[in-house]
Amino acid sequence: MDIKVKRIDDFTVNAIKSIVGNDLDVIIEKGEPLENVDRYANYDPLIGGVQVFNMDKLKESTLSFGVLDNNGNKGIVIAGHGGYVGERIGQSYSSQVGTVSRNPIQPRHSDAAFVPISSRSIRGKISYQK
């Protein structure tokens, strides 16, 4: 679920929690502003909103944002239809970022997959194109 806000304050945080409920752990952080970038270029550190590739099935997807899983492992969330467990994800067809480790198929509550990354970093920035 994407919730976009222009300001983060107690009122906004409570409004978001009223939508997603209290059963979810939600951490809200103020990040860097959006940056107009080329979504098809390679970035290091990685940034959200750029294109990634399934290197095994030769198809495209989108890097959503950086996350830490419940065990503190650094990774990225990509669109779930972009890769299944064990498939390699890259910024290009020759630059591997990581391998999909989680992509819940049934029951699916989101179109999202988790790709742990160890040799790359990710900025708290999301790209956009005008």
Query: Domain holding 83: CATH number?
Result: 2.40.10.10
Tokens 């939600």 map to which residue?
Answer: 26
Instruction: Report the residue count for the chain.
Output: 130
Residues 44 and 55 in one domain: yes
Residues 16 and 45 in one domain: no
Question: Cα separation of 7 and 47, whole Å?
Answer: 21
Give Cα separations from 122 to 12, 82, 126 (angstroms).
26, 19, 10
User: What's the pLDDT at 107?
Assistant: 74
Residues 23 and 48 in one domain: no
**Omega of the bond prior to 107 within 30 degrees of 0, cis?**
yes
Residues 54 and 25 in one domain: no
Residues 120 and 86 in one domain: yes
Residues 9 and 40 in one domain: no
The DSSP call for residue 55 is T
Percent of the chain with pLDDT over 70: 74
Find the domain containing 15 and state its range: 1-30
Joined tokens for residue 125: 């920035």
Name 48's bridge partners.
126
Local confidence band at 123 (pLDDT 50, 70, 90 cut-offs)? confident
Q: What is the pTM of this model?
A: 0.69
Mean pLDDT of the chain: 79
Asked if residue 114 lies in contact with residue 102, where contact means CB atoms within 8 angstroms, the answer is yes
Question: Cα separation of 77 and 114, whole Å?
Answer: 5
Local confidence band at 52 (pLDDT 50, 70, 90 cut-offs)? very high
